[in-house]
Amino acid sequence: MNLRHVFGIALLAFIAGLPAQAQELPQAVTAKREMVVTANPLATAAAAKILRRGGTAADAMIAAQTVLGLVEPQSSGLGGGAFVVYYNAWSGNTITVDGREKAPASATEDRFQGLGFFDAWQSGLSVGVPGTPRLMEYMHRHFGILSWRKLFRPAARLAKRGFPLTQRTSDQVAGLLARNPDCDNRLFFRDPTAFEYFANPDCTAKAAGTIITNPDYAKTLQRLARHGADAFYFGEIADNIAAAVQKDPAIGGDMTAQDLANYEVVERAPVCLNYRGHDVCGMGPPSSGALAVGQILGVLENFDLGAGAPLDVDTVHLFTQAGRLAFADRGRYVADSDFVTVPVEGMLDKNYLASRAALITDMDLGRVEPGEPPGEFDPLAPHNRSKDSGTSHISIIDRYGNSLSMTTTIESSFGNGVMVNGFLLNNELTDFSFAATDSTGMAIANRVEANKRPRSSMSPTIVFDPHGRVEIVTGSPGGSRIIGYTAQSIINLVDFGLDPQEAINVPHYMNRNGLTSDLETPIPGVTLDYDADALAAALTTRGHNVNIRTQTSGLSVIQVKRKRPRKWHHHYYYDDGDDGYHRHWWWRPRKVLIGGADKRRDGTVGGR
């Protein structure tokens, strides 16, 4: 380790330990060629370096994800899953890739019967078969151009040489340790390996700025670099995962090495809705993201939001009511479409959404019932539970115009709390309904079934302008609140003309068809300052029960602004079926990439 590296680590450690100071609101970052936004500066730097070397958005994502799994382990990693929305500039196609975790082949409907959430979360029963390593390989195989091995080097180096623990990670460790009755009787960080990695012997969290190394993670990355994702799904790592699940110190699970060997990602068609001339495309079932975001926007399209402002009482009221309607349908209809019939087209039908919008008045609707969208669907009961979870988001546009929106997760903070080969396992299966039927005996769509993927709220989204060109790449972590965060980022850009950072700085508001409409507590230097009490009072006169609370979004937003080209350009291409070489003339697009990162977390923008 040279002197420059030692100084760099010391500087990062010092910064990580500094207290937050009052400051001006963050400003948008601009670039001309390429851009990446992630929830951590080290991950952003790793991905930006790959882009500078000519890598695609898919290449850069792998570098970002492997670093995030190391420096932000409470949110995502190799032991979790992800959804990707990808625009391929060379073919003009948009796809979504489903890397969601799956239930083991032996899973049954009564999996969580009699268990509370905490006991289910901190157990081997909660672990789904991870999808992230296979998804990374799939994206590289289809859309990458740089060497697979090189993409793992930034994370492997950090794991060997060390990195400073962030304040956010330290605080979350402390919060979970505080839930234990005492240090000897731990449910949280019950795994000795994870405890030693994140905590001190006296059961306190390691302080922000502590230099952390993870040689086991470096070895895992080296195996993936040499042998591909098979190194994760077969052999020693797969055996270790299965053993850790089955021998969980709290409650053992039933995942086997064969479950890992059988895992595959699925490429699916995107789910899109046209909103005021912009095609908004995202991930369909098993995610509720594109459907719920699309329904919120489709309902709001029946109102003139642009006449107001983001924090006007009318805007907030309409957004909360649209959220109620969307979450009502989400609870009843959305689950893994490989197991249930989801009325995707019907839920986004313009006439259906107009009829739902007609239910909105000047007063809060209260808890609403799901509608009956056109199309086929199974007669199933709702699963309305909404909770907050630990997740991360990556947005990338490369020099070629390829665009990637990826939301990645291990579910709740630090997954199920068990560490294997340097990474944490997920607790994704707690996204299933704990009950198989409702009180009438009707089956719940999102019940546990063998090899099924649990319903998700992750909402990676790409928005296209009226000419069909990529205009916005957005998405956020935040559990079921992801849907509101993502939809709000879109209306802030499309309806109110804000830039990405301004859109992120607007305080959040939403209603997930629950008892309360939530307003965000303003954060100095992070969000716009506003009179939350006055807005709450105005909403109360409209029948809302208002809760002012902290909301931990992690939006990563890139917007493309295009300018008129200055001159014609041309290139030659060869066509063997015709008469040889041809010269093709075109206007080279002049564009500016504008990026925003959420300072509610540790988000940063990189680009040039």
> Where along the chain do its domains lie?
36-78+97-267+389-446, 270-387+460-558
Q: Can you tell me the distance from the alpha carbon of 64 to that of 139, in angstroms, rounded to the nearest whole number?
A: 13
Span 249-275, mean pLDDT? 97
What is the average pLDDT value for the chain, to the nearest integer? Answer: 92
- What pLDDT does 575 receive? 44
The mean pLDDT of 48-61, rounded to a whole number, is 98
- The mean per-residue pLDDT over the stretch 146-165 comes to 98
pLDDT tops 80 at residue 196: yes
Q: What is the mean pLDDT of residues 485-491?
A: 98
- The pLDDT value given to residue 274: 98
Distance, in Å, from the CA atom of 531 to the CA atom of 536, rounded to the nearest integer, reads 9
Distances (CA, A) of 245 to 259, 260, 391, 453, 567: 12, 12, 21, 18, 61
Q: Is the pLDDT of residue 17 over 80?
A: no
pLDDT at 439: 84
Say whether pLDDT at 515 is over 50. yes
What is the model's pLDDT at position 384?
A: 63
Global pTM value: 0.92
The pLDDT of residue 385: 59
Q: Is the pLDDT reported for residue 581 higher than 70? A: no
Check: CB of residue 582 under 8 Å from CB of residue 488: no
Average pLDDT over residues 113-122: 95
Q: What is the pLDDT of residue 590?
A: 77
Confidence of residue 389 (pLDDT cuts 50, 70, 90): low
pLDDT of residue 387: 55
Per-residue DSSP letter, 584: E
- Tell me yes or no: is domain 270-387+460-558 CATH 1.10.246.130: yes
Are 267 and 96 contacting, i.e. CB atoms less than 8 angstroms apart?
yes
What is the average pLDDT across 84-96? 97
Q: Which two tokens stand for residue 556?
A: 């990563």
Look up 315 and say whether it is catalytic.
Answer: no
pLDDT in the model for residue 10 = 44
Label residue 588 by pLDDT band (50, 70, 90). low
Helix (H), strand (E) at residue 575? strand 568-575
Which DSSP category does 206 fall into?
P
483: three-class secondary structure by DSSP: helix
pLDDT band at 375 (very low <50, low <70, confident <90, very high): confident
Task: Please give the pLDDT value at position 254.
Answer: 97
Tell me the per-residue pLDDT of 516-555, one tens digit each, with 9 for 90 and over. Answer: 999 999 999 999 999 999 999 999 999 999 999 999 999 9
Do residues 331 and 382 make contact, with C-beta atoms less than 8 angstroms apart? yes
- Distance separating alpha carbons of residues 416 and 194, to the nearest angstrom: 11
pLDDT at 19 over 90: no
Q: What whole-number distance in Å separates Cα of residue 133 and Cα of residue 62?
A: 9
What digits encode the pLDDT tens for the residues 291-312? 999 999 999 999 999 888 999 9
Q: What is the pLDDT of residues 333-373, one digit of tens each?
A: 999 999 999 999 999 999 999 999 999 999 999 999 999 99
Question: What is the mean pLDDT of the segment spanning 286-291?
Answer: 97
Q: What is the pLDDT of residue 11?
A: 40
Is 80 exceeded by the pLDDT of residue 573? no
Residue type, position 581, single letter: Y
> pLDDT: is 1 or 216 the higher one?
216
Q: What are the backbone angles phi and psi of residue 310, rounded to the nearest 5°?
A: -55, -30
Check whether the bond before 500 is cis (ω within 30° of 0).
Answer: no
* CA atoms of 304 and 575, how far apart (whole Å): 50
Q: State mean pLDDT over 412-439.
A: 95
Strand, helix or coil at 249?
coil
How far is it, in rounded angstroms, from Cα 485 to Cα 439? 32
Task: Write down the catalytic residue from 391, 474, 486, 527.
Answer: 391
Residue 376: pLDDT band (50, 70, 90) is confident
Q: How confident is the model at residue 386 (pLDDT cuts 50, 70, 90)?
A: low
Looking at the predicted structure, is the pLDDT value of residue 20 above 50?
A: no
User: Do the beta carbons of residue 487 and residue 493 sit within 8 Å?
Assistant: no
φ, ψ of residue 303 to 5 degrees: the values are -130, 155
Residues 87, 92, 93, 99: is their CA dihedral positive or negative? negative
Q: Which stretch of DSSP H or E encloses residue 231? A: helix 230-233
* pLDDT of 566 over the 60 cut: no
DSSP string, 364-430: ---S------SS-----B--------EEEEEEEE-TTS-EEEEEEEEESTTTTS-EETTEEPP-GGG
